[in-house]
Structure 1
Amino acid sequence: MTYELYYWDGIPGRGEFVRLALEQAGADYVDVVRSDGGMARMMALMKNKTAGFVPFAPPFLKDGDILVSHAANILLYLGEKLGLAPRDEAGRIEANGLQLSITDFVVEIHDTHHPIGVSLYYEDQRDEALRRAENFIEERLPKFLGYFEKQLVRNSEGQIHAVGDMLTYVDLSLFHLVEGLRYAFPKAMTAAEPGYPLLVALNAQVRELPRIKAYLASERRLAFNEEGIFRHYPELDRA
C-alpha cells in the first residue's frame, strides 16, 4: 500500500519530519500536493463534512482507510511499521515524548518571525519579532538544544542515538531541526554549536545515511525559504 502524505507544496515545514522517516525506510509514498490535482484533494479531505475524522491542518497521512494527523502522531504511527521506533513500549513512549518536545520547539521557532499572528505579514510585526528573536536566542535556543544534548549524552553508547541503541525517527527529526536552525539563525548557531557536540555529530551521522544522502541530493528535497517555519531574516539573527 502506498502512503499518501499531505502537506503544503514549496516548503519543507512540518511535513519534512515525516518525509525523512519515509525516505530512510525506503517506503512507497506519494507527496500528494506536489502531484496534479493534489491541492484540491487535500482541501477536499479537510472540508469533508461526511467523514468520521477530518484533520485540522496538514501534515496528515493516509494509509488505506486510516487518516493520521500531526507530525508527531504520524511518526508514532509509522515508527514501528517502518522499523524506526524502539522495540519496547517504554522506548516508543519515550520517543513520542521527545518528538512532542521537538514539536514545542518548532512552534517557538516559528513564533520568532510571527510573534503576533500568522495572518499578518512579517513586516507588520517586525519590531515584535526582533524582541522575540532576541529572547529566543538568549534563552529558548540553549534551553531546548541543551535538553536534547543531555538526552544524547544520557543515551550515548557507541553510536549516537536519541532513544535506545538504534536509529529512530527522533534522530531524523533532530537532524532536520538542526538544519532548519542553521538556515534561520546561521550566526547564532555557529556560536552555539560547540556547546552541543553530540547534536552536531548526530546531524553529520544522519546526513551520511545512504538513503538520506540520496534524498538530500534529489528534487524531492525542498529547500528552506521564507514561506515556511524556518525563515532567515538577517536582522533576527545574531551571535
Structure 2
Amino acid sequence: MAYELYYWDGLQGRGEFVRLALEEARAPYVEVARGRPEDGLGEGAMLALMDSKDEPHPPFAPPFLRDGDLIIPQSANILFYLGEKLGLAPRDDLRYVVHGLQLTIADVVTEVHDTHHPIGSGLYYEDQKEAAKARATDFIDHRMPKFMGYFERVLKQNPKGDAHLVGDSLTYADLSMFQLIEGLHYAFPRATKRFRQRYRRLAALRDAVAARPNIAAYLASERRIPLNETGIFRHYPELDRSPGSD
C-alpha cells in the first residue's frame, strides 16, 4: 500500500522534508491534499481527518503520514519512523543521532519562519514588518552562522568522513540538510552569497544530494512545488542583508 502524505497543497513547507525521503527511496506515496475531491482526496479530506471525532489520535496539524491504520504527525517524527523502513537511517544507536540532527534542523526551520512572522502566525507579514526586520537581522548575524557552523563541524568530525552527517551512507538528515540549504538560499540570497566559501562541506553535501538520480529526477518534475512567498522560506528583499551590515 502507498503511504499517504498530508500537507498543504501549493507549499513545500515542512512536508518537503518528508517528500525528499520518499522520493529518494522511490517509495509509493499519495499526496492527499493535492488529489481530487471526487477521489476522496483534497485538502477537505485532510481537514476532515484533523477534525475527526472518531480518530483516537487525531493529528494537530500537517504534515502527517498515514501508514495503514497508523497516523504519524510531525516531520521529524515521520522521518524517524520512515528512516529504517526506507534504508535512510542506521540500524544501530546512531539512528538517535540522526534523529537529533533532524530535530535541530527543525529548530532552524522554526527560526526561519519567525523571521517573517515574529509576533504571530495569525497576523499578516505586513502587520509585523518592523519586528520581522529586527528578527531577520538577528537570524542572519547570529543564529544562522551558529547553526550552520555547527552542522559544518558535524561533517568535519564524522569519523566516517565528511560526505555525510552521520556514518558513511546517506540518511534522511542529509536530505533535510539539502532542503534547509535550498530554503536559506531562496529566502536570503544576500546573506548566503558566500555560503560555499564559509561552509565548504555543507555546500558539497548539498551538491551531492542534488546529483542523486532519484532526487535529480524529482527536482526536475512537476511534483516538486516551487518555493514561494506563502511557505516557510520566503524571500522578502527588505529582510535580506549581508551578515554584519548596517
Structure 2 equivalent of residue 11 of structure 1: 11
Q: How does 1:83-98 map to 2 (within 5 A)?
A: 83-88=87-92, 90-98=93-101
Structure 2 Cα separation of the partners of residues 236 and 14 of structure 1 = 21
Say which is worse superposed, 184-193 or 58-67, in terms of deviation: 184-193
Residue 232 (structure 2) pairs with residue 229 (structure 1): yes
Alpha-carbon offset, residue 193 of structure 1: 3.5
Question: Which of residues 184, 188, 200 in structure 1 aligns to 2:203?
Answer: 200
Question: Which of residues 65, 72, 82 in structure 2 aligns to 1:68?
Answer: 72
1:69-122 Cα distance to aligned partner (Å, 9 max, x none): 00000000000000000121x211001100000111100000000000011111
Alpha-carbon offset, residue 179 of structure 1: 0.2
Structure 2 equivalent of residue 169 of structure 1: 172
Structure 1 equivalent of residue 85 of structure 2: 81
Question: Which of residues 211, 215, 229 in structure 1 aligns to 2:214?
Answer: 211
Structure 1 Cα separation of the partners of residues 162 and 196 of structure 2 = 19
TM-score normalized with structure 1 length: 0.98
Alpha-carbon offset, residue 64 of structure 1: 0.5
Residue 22 (structure 2) pairs with residue 22 (structure 1): yes
Q: How does 1:180-199 map to 2 (within 5 A)?
A: 180-199=183-202
Structure 2 equivalent of residue 120 of structure 1: 123
Structure 1 unmatched ranges of 5 or more = none
Alpha-carbon offset, residue 129 of structure 1: 0.5
Structure 2 unmatched ranges of 5 or more = none
What one-letter code is carried by the residue in structure 2 that aligns with 1:103? Answer: A
How well do the aligned residues superpose, as a CA RMSD in angstroms? Answer: 0.9
Structure 2 Cα separation of the partners of residues 156 and 232 of structure 1 = 37
1:15-71 Cα distance to aligned partner (Å, 9 max, x none): 000000000000000111111121111011100112110100000000000100000
Moved over 6 A (4+): none
Structure 2 equivalent of residue 145 of structure 1: 148
Q: Percent identity?
A: 61
Structure 2 Cα separation of the partners of residues 193 and 13 of structure 1 = 24
Structure 2 equivalent of residue 56 of structure 1: 60
What one-letter code is carried by the residue in structure 1 that aligns with 2:30? Answer: V
Give the total of aligned pairs: 238
